[in-house]
Amino acid sequence: AENLPLYNKKVLITAGPTYEAIDPVRFIGNHSSGKMGFELAAAAHAAGAQVTLISGPTHLENPNEDIKIIRVQSAVEMYNAATDHFSEVDIAIASAAVSDYRPKISASQKIKKSAETMELQLVKNPDILASLGEFKKHQLLVGFALETENEEENASGKLKRKNLDFIVLNSLNDSGAGFKSETNKVKILFKDEKVKAFPLKSKREVAQDILNEIILLLDE
């Protein structure tokens, strides 16, 4: 295993959606499948890394028993797990679709139907990736962006604000890319302003492309 490119490297990956409880039976969530993150975990493991995968709720199984999976529900739980492990790792990849807000109060009992309208007050969740960017020392840090307008400009803003080495921009303007699909079409924006565009591929192949870029940066 010593000749594998990520031999002796520790990799942390966040994946999937987060569920923000409204009450014991309801939540605010999103349609993220977790596939991209699980493929990244499998590819990093195959490249010889020691992988910790922090996943929100998904139906996906652990791709390999040597991958340590920490299953969480909410953004706060994901934040706690990610910040607990970050100082020990060499590489962190944030592919989770974290809910930006959570209900201010999660009711302890199921909320009863009553008035014609009801209001739910939301508070901001921590930005996990931005926090890792602040804590970053030797680590290589990678994020994702999914934009509907001014794609490259917004993604490059996040790359800088969150102190990343590169950001993977998912294109929503291409059919076959994004959330639930098996395929993805990405551009990678680097902190030196270089941009690499990739064709539509399976998420497995996209994961390999992303790892190849990480391996290239480690070799520099």
| Site membership for ligand C5P, residue 11 (CB under 6 A) | no
Residue for token pair 């040597």: 66
Q: In this complex, which beta carbon is closest to ligand C5P, that of residue 54 or of residue 108?
A: 54
Least gap, CB of 17 to ligand C5P (angstroms)? 10
| Site membership for ligand C5P, residue 125 (CB under 6 A) | yes
Residue 79 in contact with residue 94, Cβ under 8 Å? no
In single-letter form, the type of residue at position 168 comes to V
- Count CB atoms within 10 A of the CB of residue 105: 12
| Site membership for ligand C5P, residue 158 (CB under 6 A) | yes
Query: What is d(CA 20, CA 29) in angstroms, rounded to the nearest whole number?
Result: 6
Residues 177-196 interacting with ligand C5P (rule: CB under 6 A): none
| Site membership for ligand C5P, residue 16 (CB under 6 A) | no
Which stretch, 26-34, 65-73, 89-97, 196-204, contacts ligand C5P (CB under 6 A)?
A: 89-97
Which stretch, 103-111, 125-133, 181-189, 208-216, contacts ligand C5P (CB under 6 A)?
A: 125-133
Give the chain's largest Cα–Cα span.
Answer: 65
Residue 91 in contact with residue 107, Cβ under 8 Å? no
Residues with catalytic annotation? 30
